[in-house]
Structure 1
């Protein structure tokens, strides 16, 4: 009995199963082609804003952290199956997702806006201007959910193309295969910073302003609360602000 209690006292990471506790590891599921939140650098290492946040939180918990690239369109299945413990990669908090996932507190605002090729002269001043155009966005993302909920809007467009990630969508935009991309402002503006003469952001908001959070299985309340506690400490001591300044040149995170 004393041995069992000692093992339990040492366990502090992973989900609520004995196997995960013994492993002392949190597996983070992400789209590894989603800069600047999480992506592979020139050394093929996964880096990014959310990566730095998750690493620091895991360090404070005394846990090992593993980053696992997943099909973002199957993220809920990956989480529910236990292949990953948390989704931490620019994940918008929505009412639909709350039905199946347990979210952290929001830590950043995010808008879905329009991006066009700089040399094509496409004008989109409102949602109505999407009519008759070929629009690209990420499969399984917030924009897809919005389009699927707005049947008349989707029907008005010539076509909606869904991509595994925004990088492929932006590449098709540059090559003239689509008329515009609707997607996360933060990711889009980061892409523009690397391709300043090819893509233009139009300040036309599609849908509501959303907020990023990281998500756990519904039954993993204890893990969610542990991670939230250390994340709150990171906000309070300025660590989150410093990481934001590293990736965005300013602190754009939400405060308690």
Structure 2
């Protein structure tokens, strides 16, 4: 009996010892790699939108917004690449991450805010009406029965359609891939008026004052901002600050004066 008890105790001790033995700790999971630091931003633009962004006689991209983006990128220590895109597909280019920002006279609208994160506005603009010099069209009411042109996917089209009665009075609203083509059709008589961003329209009118006239009437005031992806809040904050600093120290005004002859920064 004593022998049996001893064996039982020894067996129980072995079992308990086995139960109390600690398993080796699992190796700690390696920390997730930190996201790569952003060193470059790709700016999407319409490269036929003077004076905001266009190609000069050397086929190089130049313009007011080009210079603004370069200055902001320099302050942020970022390289900037300019990528011409189909402007009517700009939101798809942005959401598809083929570009990081839309910076080319982009009008801030409530509809666009649903898919785009805008910076604070940096410029005010109007949708002006350009007609041939000597035209009988003197006001919006005179556009009734006329063929009017605008850039496809632009805020000019949105502004026209907001004034439903005027829009429905047109004989036709023709849209074009860019404003330059629309203005060429105005010159050749295929259009009777063009609705266009003021910065673009006045740029061309100033170059050929004998060919064009600008009406007193317009299709409203709007604001330009830089457009980013909704979730790209860090880059948004940085560009917003860079723009604010450029306004404060006069750099933005200097760029504006070079392109427009006056400070048009908001």
Structure 1 and Structure 2 fold alike (TM over 0.5): yes
Q: Which residue of 1 aligns with 2:68?
A: 53
Mapped to 1, the partners of 2:96 and 2:189 lie a distance apart of: 39
RMSD: 1.7
Which residue number corresponds to residue 171 of structure 2? 158
1:22-171 aligned within 5 A: 24-119=39-134, 121-125=135-139, 127-171=140-184
How many angstroms does 1:192 deviate by?
Answer: 1.2
Max radius of gyration: which structure? 2
Q: What is the Cα deviation at residue 137 of structure 1?
A: 0.6
Aligned residue number for residue 180 of structure 1: 193
Q: How far has the Cα of 1:74 moved from its partner?
A: 0.6
- SS of alignment partner, residue 145 of structure 1: helix
User: Equivalences for 1:219-230 in 2 at 5 Å?
Assistant: 219-230=231-242
* 1:83 alignment partner, SS class: coil
How far apart, CA to CA, are the structure 2 residues paired with 1:3 and 1:94?
A: 39
Match of 1:192 in 2: 205
The number of residue pairs the alignment matches comes to 237
**CA contact 1:122–1:179 (8 Å) conserved in 2:** no
Gap runs ≥5 in structure 2: 1-29
State the 1:203 CA deviation. Answer: 1.7
Q: What is the alpha-carbon distance in structure 1 between the residues aligned to residue 93 and residue 240 of structure 2?
A: 21
Local SS of the residue matching 1:200? strand
* 1:213 is aligned to 2:225: yes
Mapped partners of 1:100, 1:222: distance in 2: 17
Separation in 2 of the partners of 1:199 and 1:153? 22
Cα shift at 1:3: 11
Q: How far 1:176 moved relative to its partner?
A: 0.6
